[in-house]
Chains A and B, each alone.
Chain A
């Protein structure tokens, strides 16, 4: 699958650069939006669950707890929302010129990842401010982020391709993303969930990512290797199957869009 994109790597770069420029052109605070969005969500959750409802999901600061969940979540939902209309919205390109179609949803994943990285720098500063001990276990963040990117890319490809055929997908996605928000432990901890539901929630790779994000950065513990192995294998398999189907049906996009 790599060789498909090799000849078009410049196009992918330019697409990412274009989306980045468009997003922040004629805005007054520019890239600061990348920080403002997750930070304001974090503050909102801290206020509602910490001040109004006075829940204590974990024994560490609310702000860290929510930010660790909000970051991967905004990346996933941002990329998925971008992807779903990325091909159908660019129908004048798709029907007129050939290039590997996955470039458009890929560029959506990429710009949202840039925002994610900016947000992550803020998160890291917060860890220092809260005097969380820096440990080697924090490096587990790398495979977790890899998993997050692969999973988000698979879902983006799937949504983009399906919306070419059925515009219902766009409407369903809005609803599904809201649903998935509550099925991901962004505003709660998986520890507070009954055991019989836990397995069910772990079918969602985002659950594993968010929970372990907190575990390795705030608690300084390592991941459970066999769990990481299973989750990574599952996400890889999903990616390969989705990408193969995408390549197969891509050639018909121009005719059905």
Chain B
């Protein structure tokens, strides 16, 4: 593995709250804003550690699988890498653009057409309008939805919807791709195309993190699998 990791998580801890109303959090943020100090790194009532002391390093071209039961912290790791949330303790350094395929079709609107939604979802994934214009033909072709591309997506079947979303996502020129349970998209033929696409991302030195329950597909595409249990990494911490 590369000695110069593009993703590095060092001793990362993340706490979450079980309470539905978080009266404390706004106060905590404002206090640390005013005093400039980081505080509240310990657990208080109703809180738990979603991740405990996680170390994860990935170089260019690596493909890492994250496995574990529901609530073991797999998605939390992806959220930390994509900057959706921040670590309670520890450091995260990301060198490169991230394409977070955590929820396919984020930002798509049912009343807008396929083409219009390509721009919507594409820019949310961090692509520029220019990049999308350049790739629009290729995105439509990959989705196989040529006949429906000007139809509002509310008229799509759920399979068609996911195919469009996946096509946009894999056309991102990002350096890091995060896949959360999104490999089971479409029919067999489309899945084969997706796996081929993942191979070509890797051969272009893209780094991939995959979350899946499907151990068989993880072992097929990943060169390292990390199993999580209640926020603790059991195996496969790698450099």
Binding site for B on A (CB under 8 A): 10-11, 13-14, 17-18, 21-22, 25-26, 92-99, 165, 245, 248-249, 251-252, 254-256
* B119-134 at interface with A (beta carbon < 8 Å): 119-120, 123-129
A-B contact list, 27 entries, CB within 8 Å? A10-B127, A11-B124, A14-B129, A21-B112, A93-B106, A94-B84, A95-B79, A96-B84, A97-B84, A97-B102, A97-B106, A98-B83, A98-B84, A165-B25, A245-B30, A245-B33, A248-B29, A248-B33, A249-B30, A249-B33, A251-B85, A252-B86, A254-B79, A255-B16, A255-B17, A255-B25, A256-B25
**Sample of 11 more A-B contacts, CB < 8 Å, known A13-B129, A96-B103:** A10-B128, A10-B129, A21-B112, A93-B107, A97-B82, A97-B125, A165-B22, A249-B33, A252-B86, A256-B25, A256-B26
Q: How large is the interface on B (under 10, 10 to 19, 20 to 34, 35 or more residues)?
A: 20 to 34
Per DSSP, chain A at the interface is: helix
CB-CB under 8 A from B125, the residues of chain A are 97
A-B contact count (CB 8 A): 84
Give the residues in chain A near B82, CB-CB below 8 Å. Answer: 97-98
With a CB–CB cut-off of 8 A, which chain B residues contact A256?
Answer: 22, 25-26
Q: List which B22-51 residues lie within 8 A (CB) of chain A.
A: 22, 25-26, 29-30, 33
Give the shortest distance, in Å, between B168 (CB) and chain A (any CB).
13
**Is B114 in the interface zone, CB < 8 Å from A?**
no
CA distance A22 to B107 in the complex (A): 13
Residue in chain A with minimal CB distance to B29: A249
A11 to chain B: which residues have CB within 8 Å?
Answer: 123-124
What is the chain B residue whose CB lies nearest that of A19?
B109
Q: Does B181 touch A at the CB level, under 8 Å?
A: no
Q: Are B109 and A22 in touch, CB under 8 angstroms? A: yes
